[in-house]
Amino acid sequence: MSFWILFFLLPITMATADPLRPGYYSETCPEAESIVGDVIMKAMIREPRSGASVMRFQFHDCFVNGCDASMLLDDTPTMLGEKLSLSNINSLRSYEVIDEVKEALEKACPGTVSCADIIIMASRDAVALSGGPSWEVKLGRKDSLTASQKDADDIMPSPRANASFLVDLFAKFDLSIKDLVALSGSHSIGQGRCFSVMFRLYNQSGSGKPDPAIEPKFREKLNRLCPIGGDENVTVDLDATPQAFDNQYFKDLVAGRGFLNSDETLYTYPWTRPYVKLYSKDQDNFFKAFVEGMIKLGDLQSGKPGEIRTNCRVVNSRAVDVLLES
């Protein structure tokens, strides 16, 4: 069978050079954004933690080869995807919420809305439904044809990362220090695992001692929740208001009550500290900077061929292999 016959027989939509823009689906799927918002709201009512989980998808997707929904692909016999990468395994959850959104959109507008755009819309809605800001999103992304566990492992930062490393990492994506601190405010909602804080509590920098930046009473609380030899999958609130998207996260950092090393280091590092202090006092300023950062994050693109997946977990067809080889 020739390439062109295969191309027309199988359901695949390849990437175009169309720029991202608001209202991308205004004619092809005018209810797209309301459908996404409705599913996310129902999911958060059913399981409040899903809001934080869905919101983080945008960062975990866009940082690895651009915003292309590669993180949603399941492993195959010939591809190790991103779900089992160091930053995602036992950490990211609520993939089924994106499945629900996709199913609803496929019923309303078959083969129209990409999984990559679903992540962008769902992340925005999760923030807004948690009490945070809402914003106009640019849409028109295509879904990747593959994923790479290695790329995710090589790119995504560890919870042990310090601010100096994070500043340099974000700069590679044209994201500023301001963007770094504001986007870290995504930890205003949700929980983290004891696994991610054990070294801070008991062996910071190989010292055999706790991180001196941890406020003593907060450290005592963490010691009770995350004891040596305990279940490191136990989850702990990332700030004092884990279901409300607000600036409490930054207030906690100033007070020495940041959960992750990569959080608290934003206050102890002189280049990032001014923004932490500003956002701890001015929630509106934080919200504005967060929106700016999310929009810039959403602009990251790989430029590689893509499609509109009918199932976010798998590419559409064998035609992908033929196209990549042509």
- Residues forming the active site: 60
Helices 283-298, 115-129: axis angle to 10 degrees equals 170
Place of tokens 């459908």: 35
Close Cβ partners of 58 (under 8 Å, ≥ 6 residues apart)? 67, 119, 120, 123, 294, 297, 298
DSSP-based three-state secondary structure for 98: helix
Question: Between the CA of residue 210 and those of 207, 260, 282, what are the distances in Å?
Answer: 8, 13, 31
Task: Please tell me the distance from the alpha carbon of residue 212 to that of residue 203, in angstroms, as a whole number.
Answer: 11
Other residues' Cβ atoms within 10 Å of the Cβ of residue 78: 7
Other residues' Cβ atoms within 10 Å of the Cβ of residue 106: 16
Main-chain phi, psi angles of 139, to 5 degrees = -130, 170
The pair of structure tokens assigned to 149 is 């566990």
Nearest to 91 by CA among 238, 201, 219: 238
Task: Please tell me the distance from the alpha carbon of residue 99 to that of residue 253, in angstroms, as a whole number.
Answer: 35
Query: Are 57 and 122 in contact, with CB atoms under 8 Å apart?
Result: yes
Main-chain phi, psi angles of 325, to 5 degrees = -85, -15
Nearest to 150 by CA among 91, 85, 89: 85
Close Cβ partners of 152 (under 8 Å, ≥ 6 residues apart)? 60, 64, 71, 82, 85, 86, 87, 88
